Structure 1
Amino acid sequence: MIGPWTMESAVVYRARARGCLLGGAIGDALGYPIEFTSLDGIRAAHGPDGVTGFPSGAVARISDDTQMTLFTAEALTQAVAREQERGLTGAWSQLLAWGYERWLETQNKPGPEQATVPEGSPRGSLVDQTWLYSRRAPGNACLSGTAQKYHPDPWHAIDGKAGRVNPNSKGCGTVMRSAPFGLCDTGQEAFEKAARGAQITHGHPTGYYAAGALAAIVAHLVTGDSLEGAVLRAMRLLARYPGHEETSTALGRAVDLAAQGGEPTADRVESLGAGWVAEEALAIGVYSALAHPGPREVRRALLLSVNHSGDSDSTGSICGNLVGARHGDVGLPQEWVERVEGRAVIAAVADDLAGTCVRL
């Protein structure tokens, strides 16, 4: 748990928690329509600046990135509540696996009436949200891994060895869903829980280390660190774990690229990769946030993170998690917040997690 809290710090934290989830949803929705489009194709369709906002008059649809993030946050809220009520400190592992199984129901069933939940699992409220029952290009490893119903050992050491489920997979489906871990634990605890949680679907060390790194960065941001400070602290933490090198190298390239200064461009973004794998998605999201770190640069950071030839919704989601956690929901472009699909539910999920974690 993070804290202790004063009334003032609790208010700031809640704004940052809401900003983290809403910011992620905005980045996701900006990138989702162009996820499989080349940069040349994006510019041909949207002009030389690429995507500059949401299409006029349309709801900005979120993808599987925000779907899974919401189910992560709901499961963690249940876990924190159970820990407070019953002292069950390892319950988060099983509750998280159940949360992803509930997400899988939304991918396989036509609506809430047909959905079932695992025996012993709380139902939660998300499984009753009709708008979540839509496949939005979910990753194969997320689908196949969740279907295996693996519940990781909450006390297992993160040892850099391949996990049991999809041991060769390091897709970005680990990192794009892991920001909520940073909203309810300190940096190291968030890192380790997110890494174990990623192993529910992806077994490659780089996949689960990238998830842990994002969670740690978010944990530092919501307690007041700068973007650069949070990233550097997470990198120092990451370096303690065997097999971290691929993730550390990707993050180091992002930090170095931002430190060079100059105009951030799509070419610079694409020099970090395409974002289909976890470490590249993390690097692009981090670079975009570092390149535009100020409270008045959130819009530019988000647009930079999606206008490239790779996995635009995942990189946009990660960047949005970061700038939202740093600047809070009031720092997000409000006209974009108002357009995001399910925004009231997203805000409520963030509020529930924040309200459960804060004890004055």
Structure 2
Amino acid sequence: MLPKRDSKLSGALLGLTVADALGVPVEFRSRAALDADPVTEMRGYGTYNQPPGTWSDDSTMTWCTVESLTLRPACDTEDMAERFVRWMTRGYMTPHGELFDIGNATREALERYRTEAVWAKFAGLTREQSNGNGSLMRILPMAFYTRGMEVGERDRLAAEVSSITHRHPRSILACLIYVEIALRLLDGLPAAEAYRLGIAAIEERYAEHEERWAFERVLNGGLADLRREDIRSSGYVVDTLEAALWCLLTTGSYREAALKAVNLGEDTDTTGAVVGGLAGILYGEAGIPEEWLSRIAKLDELRTLCEQWEAVLEKRA
């Protein structure tokens, strides 16, 4: 096994993957059921009958994005979409060679891309009801890729990557908020300060955005003051963003943040993945419990891809 590294990049990507895997066996379980039988360790089987350490579509699509950004000379949404289609049709970049979980909007968008000769950045759905969390869950690599870019270019690229599957302005704005907060964590700020400055930057650019109203609880700065019963953990993109940020802001370690997210119930793997990526930046790979990390499927392959992408980013810097 490759040694653990103190890297924000490996912390983020492996942090996302580990928390995703924590949530896979209990996806769709209710909060009440998890209150009675909370997740405290890396389980297996359950919802999808997968062994412990199995990650889902959240991680697969994130790693496909990382691989594309590593191998292509620029942010290539066509290449990303091709990798997503390979995953959907052939189980590419999965823990065990098979697809076992895919969102409806994601499947529909990728089928459009595959069969209708549409550009990848226009494949995503724009219906109001197509605001699931399927682009938010995979947008984290764009924080690393766009770091140091002019904000307009950063937002444009993140929006195009979201739009491969989710092109509604609400889904895109959720991704931009998440990337902005992730960037502040990459600067070494504590969670509360990263959140405060991240949302301030979004307000400066998007105060008049048509979908700003949907993010009132995020952008008013008071998420950490909400009670658990105020937090929803469905697959709706706003719920996922709120839940993930709330878990990050109200805990003091990677372990606490990941378990708090998963034990909210419902869309456990994605809520876990979205907070896990941020917590991985904040606490580093060293903050991820070894007993969880060591059980992750294809861990050495994932670590190698982290190192390859980090080398590419360092050359570009």
Normalising by the residue count of structure 1, what TM-score does the alignment of the two structures yield? Answer: 0.75
Q: Which residue of 2 aligns with 1:61?
A: 54
Amino acid at match of 1:151: W
1:356 matched to 2:312? The reply is: yes
CA positional deviation for 1:285: 0.7
Superposition pairs of residues 234-273 of structure 1, within 5 angstroms: 234-239=198-203, 240-241=205-206, 242-252=209-219, 255-259=221-225, 268-273=227-232
Deviation, 1:221, is: 1.4
Counterpart residue number, 1:5? none
SS of 2:98's equivalent in the other structure is: coil
**1:135 pairs with one of 87, 96, 99:** 99
**1:165 and 2:124 correspond:** yes
1:1-360 matches, cutoff 5 A: 15-44=7-36, 46=37, 50-55=38-43, 58-79=51-72, 82=73, 91-92=74-75, 95-109=76-90, 127=92, 131=95, 133-149=97-113, 150-151=118-119, 165-168=124-127, 169-186=130-147, 188=151, 189-239=153-203, 240-241=205-206, 242-252=209-219, 255-259=221-225, 268-292=227-251, 294=252, 297-359=253-315
Letter in structure 2 aligned against 1:357: L
In the alignment, is the contact (CA less than 8 A) between 2:42 and 2:292 conserved in 1? Answer: yes
* CA distance in 1 between partners of 2:124 and 2:80 (Å): 17
Aligned residues: percent identity?
A: 27
- Which amino acid counterpart does residue 179 of structure 2 have in structure 1? A
Rounded Cα–Cα distance in structure 1 between residues aligned with 2:44 and 2:173: 38
Q: SS at the partner of 1:136?
A: coil
Superposed CA offset, 1:63-122 (max 9, x none):
10000010111122234xx1xxxxxxxx41xx233223222222222x6xxxxxxxxxxx
TM-score by length of 2: 0.84
Q: Deviations over 1:202-250 (max 9, x none)?
A: 1221111111221222222122222222222221232223224145314
Deviations 1:314-340 (A, max 9, x none): 110011100101121111111111011
Q: How many residues align?
A: 295
Which digits, 9 at most, give the CA deviation of each residue in 1:268-309, with x for residues without a partner? 3452322311121111111101111x3xx2211110011123
Give 5+ residue unaligned stretches, structure 2.
Answer: 46-50
The separation in 1 between residues aligned to 2:94 and 2:103, in whole angstroms, is: 21
Over 3 Å counting, the alpha-carbon distance change for 1:164 and 1:72 in structure 2 is closer
What is the letter of the counterpart of residue 173 of structure 1?
A: G
CA RMSD of aligned residues (A): 2.5
Answer whether contact 1:191 1:211 (CA < 8 A) is retained. Answer: no
Check whether the contact 1:288–1:319 (CA below 8 A) recurs between aligned residues: yes
Q: Separation in 2 of the partners of 1:56 and 1:176?
A: 21
CA deviation after TM superposition for structure 1 residue 192, in Å? 3.3
User: How far apart, CA to CA, are the structure 1 residues paired with 2:84 and 2:123?
Assistant: 21
Measure how far apart 1:34 and its partner are: 1.3
Distance in structure 2 (CA, Å) of the matches to 1:33 and 1:334: 19
**Do the aligned partners of 1:186 and 1:216 also contact (CA within 8 Å) in 2?**
no
Rounded to whole Å, the distance in 1 between the matches of 2:18 and 2:175 is 20
The amino acid of 2:231's aligned partner reads: L
| Matches of 2:94 and 2:142, distance apart in 1 | 25
Cα contact 1:69–1:178 (8 A) shared by 2: yes
CA distance in 2, matches of 1:152, 1:234: 28
Would the alpha carbon gap of residues 230 and 247 (structure 1) be closer, same or farther in structure 2, given more than 3 Å must change?
Answer: farther
**Counterpart secondary structure, 1:184:** helix
Offset of 1:133 from its aligned partner? 3.0
How far apart are the structure 2 equivalents of 1:218 and 1:28? 18
Instruction: State the alpha-carbon separation in 2 of the partners of residues 244 and 349 from structure 1.
Output: 36
